[in-house]
Amino acid sequence: MKIHREGYLIILIAIIILGLIHVGSYFLFQYTGWMWLHILLTVGELVMLYLVVQFFRVPNITCVADALDVICPADGKIVVIEETEETEYFKDKRIQISIFMSPMNVHANFNPISGIIQYVKYHKGLFLVAWHPKSSTDNERSTFVIRHETGQEVLFRQIAGAVARRICYYVRENQEVKVGDEFGFIKFGSRIDVFLPLDCEINVKIGDIVKGRLTKLGKLKKTV
C-alpha cells in the first residue's frame, strides 16, 4: 500500500493541527487532575489521523484483464444499472453503471479499458449528494471517453458529492492509456458513472460491492 500524492499536504496539515491539540491539552489538563480527558483526546486524535491517512491509501493491486473486459474504475457500491440517454458526448442510449464511493473507500480512479483518450472535459456545477438522480448532470464533474482498439468507446465521469469538493485528473485528449492505470482522484466521497454500449455484457448487479482494478463491470462485444 502507498499514500496517494494528493494526500501529502492534507496529512501534514492534519498532523500539525492534531499535534498542537495534543500538546495544548497536555499542558491544560496536567495540573487540573483531568489527565483522563487528555488521554481521551489523544485516542480521538489517533483515530482522526488514521481516518485521514486511510482515505488517501492506494493498495498495491495488479490489474488482470482480457482485451475486451471493462474494469471497475473505483471502489464502492453499484447504485445504478440502467439504459439511459447520454447527452454530453454520444447523444444516444447507453447502459449507465454508477458507483457510489463513501469516504471509507479508496478514492483513486482507474481507466476502465485500454485505448486512446478521445474526450476530456471539466464542468463546474453543484454539490448535491452523490446518489441524487441529478448529480450526474448538475454536479461538478469531469467526463472522459476512451476509444478501444475495436473502435468501441466507453465514457466515464467523475462526479463530486456534497462532501467531495475537488476532482483531480491526470489524462489528456489523444493520450494512450492502459486499463487499470490511474487517471484521477476525488477527495472525500463521490460517484463515478460509466456509460457502455447497449450490446455490452454486464457482469455486476445493483448493490454489489466493487473494487477498482479488480471487479469486471462487463465485456465489450467482440468485433470481426
- Residues facing 115 on adjacent strands: 177
d(CA 90, CA 207): 27
CB count, 10 Å around CB of 122?
12
Cβ pair 67, 223 in contact under 8 A: no
Residue 135 bears catalytic tag: no
**Of 25, 98, 114, 190, which one is the catalytic site residue?**
190
Torsion over CA: 193, 196, 202, 203 (sign) = negative
Cβ pair 140, 162 in contact under 8 A: no
- Residues facing 201 on adjacent strands: 219
Nearest to 128, CA basis, from 141, 142, 119, 145: 141
Alpha helices, DSSP H, located in 62-183: 135-138
Q: Which residues are catalytic, by number?
A: 190
